[in-house]
Structure 1
Amino acid sequence: MTLEAFADTIVPGEKRSPDDRAVAGAAEGGGAVVAGAVELLETPATGLAPALGDFARLLNRHAQAYAGQHGLELDPTLPPFVALSFPHRTALVGVLTAPGHPEREVWVSIALFSNMAFDTAAHMHTLDAIAAGHPGLASMGFAMPDSDGLWRFSDYSYGRKLASLHPSTTPTGSPA
Structure 2
Amino acid sequence: MTLEAYADTIIPGQKRSPEDRAIAGVSTGGGAVQAGALELLEWDATGIHDGLDDLARLVNEHAEVYAGEQGLTLDPSVPPFVALEYPDRVALILRLTKPGHPEKDFWVMLSLFCNMSFDSAAHLHTAQALADGHPGLAAMGLSHPDADGLWRFKDFGYGRELARLHPDTTSSGSPA
Q: Could you say which TM-score interval applies, normalised by the shorter chain?
A: over 0.9
Partner of 1:8 in structure 2?
Answer: 8
Could you give the per-residue CA deviations for residues 46-102 of structure 1, whole angstroms, max 9, x where no partner exists?
000001001000000000000001101000111000000000000000011111111
- Say whether 1:67 aligns with 2:67: yes
State how far apart, in whole Å, the 2-side matches of 1:68 and 1:109 are. 26
Partner of 2:123 in structure 1?
Answer: 123
In the TM superposition, residue 167 of structure 1 has moved relative to its aligned partner by 4.3
In the TM superposition, residue 171 of structure 1 has moved relative to its aligned partner by 3.6
- Which ranges of 4 or more aligned residues in structure 1 deviate by more than 6 Å? none
TM-score using structure 1 length: 0.96
Partner of 2:51 in structure 1?
Answer: 51
Partner of 2:42 in structure 1?
Answer: 42
State how far apart, in whole Å, the 1-side matches of 2:87 and 2:67 are. 12
Give RMSD over aligned pairs. 1.2
State how far apart, in whole Å, the 2-side matches of 1:49 and 1:172 are. 37
TM-score using structure 2 length: 0.96
State how far apart, in whole Å, the 2-side matches of 1:172 and 1:22 are. 45
Structure 1 gaps of 5+ residues are none
Partner of 2:103 in structure 1?
Answer: 103
Structure 2 gaps of 5+ residues are none
Percentage identity across aligned positions? 65
Partner of 2:174 in structure 1?
Answer: 174
In the TM superposition, residue 111 of structure 1 has moved relative to its aligned partner by 0.6
In the TM superposition, residue 132 of structure 1 has moved relative to its aligned partner by 1.1
